[in-house]
Amino acid sequence: MPYIARVVRIQRVRRILPNILISHVVGNIAYVDDSSHRRARDTAKKYGDKYRNAEFRLGEIEHLPLESNTVDYVISNCVINLSPDKLQVFRESFRVLRNNGVFAVADVTLPKDIPEEAKKDMDSWSACIAGALTDSEYFSLLKTAGFQDISIEHVSSTNIGEYPFPYFSSHIKAIKRT
């Protein structure tokens, strides 16, 4: 049975990747989160009860609790920007994917680097902005991890609120070909 490694909440994935989730609903879904706080547990329980093929695994996206070459899709919504080591996240995604496996995530990206001061601001980090990669950094790190056919699509662009610089909501896709 194929695995779909997921680092996201199912309701968001449905919105982002409806066809993929539906067409692979017969497979197994591993929901990975590094937190066992109540919201994560409740989400895991809710979907674990509803879908017998969904399970919750406590773990970090930098060290996925999944065997190598066992996963068809790595999907995620707004988590990778929070990681302090994005290259390790991409390497781990590459490791667990099977040949021709798809990395397809939603994340914040930046058109250009933001000021150093903004990067240190923990409010901006937790708002998923300060830890975000630029498009070219995302592309380059995925390539370094071994991915091919990399694409970044901007779904929306904004500079509203308290951040005086633009950022994108992006869909990033890449393929593992070995």
Ligand X SMILES: C[S@@+](CC[C@H](N)C(=O)[O-])C[C@H]1O[C@@H](n2cnc3c(N)ncnc32)[C@H](O)[C@@H]1O
The residues that touch ligand X, with contacts defined as CB under 6 A, are 8-9, 12, 32-35, 40, 60-62, 77-79, 82-83, 128
Between 7 and 174, name the residue whose CB sits nearer to ligand X. Answer: 7
DSSP labels for 121-163? -HHHHHTTSTTPEEHHHHHHHHHHHT-EEEEEEEEEEE--TT-
CB nearer ligand X, residue 62 or residue 135: 62
Helices 86-96 and 135-145 cross at an angle (nearest 10°) of 40
Shortest Å distance, C-beta 26 to ligand X: 23
Element (H, E) at 23: helix 18-23
Partnered with residue 74 across adjacent β-strands are 5, 103
Q: At closest approach, how far in Å is the CB of 41 from ligand X?
A: 11
Instruction: Output 18 or 100, the one with its CB closest to ligand X.
Output: 18
Task: Give 42 or 149: the residue with its C-beta nearer to ligand X.
Answer: 42
Tell me how far, at minimum, the Cβ of 58 lies from ligand X, in Å.
9
Cβ burial of 53 (10 Å; 0-12, 13-18, 19+) is middle
Measured from the CB atom, the residue of 15 and 120 that comes closer to ligand X is: 15
Q: CB 1 → ligand X: shortest distance, Å?
A: 23
Q: How far apart are CB 80 and ligand X at their closest, in Å? A: 8
- Between CA 171 and CA 20 the distance in angstroms is 14
DSSP per-residue codes, 41-96: HHHHHHHHHH-TTEEEEE-BTTB-SS-TT-EEEEEEES-GGG-S-HHHHHHHHHHH
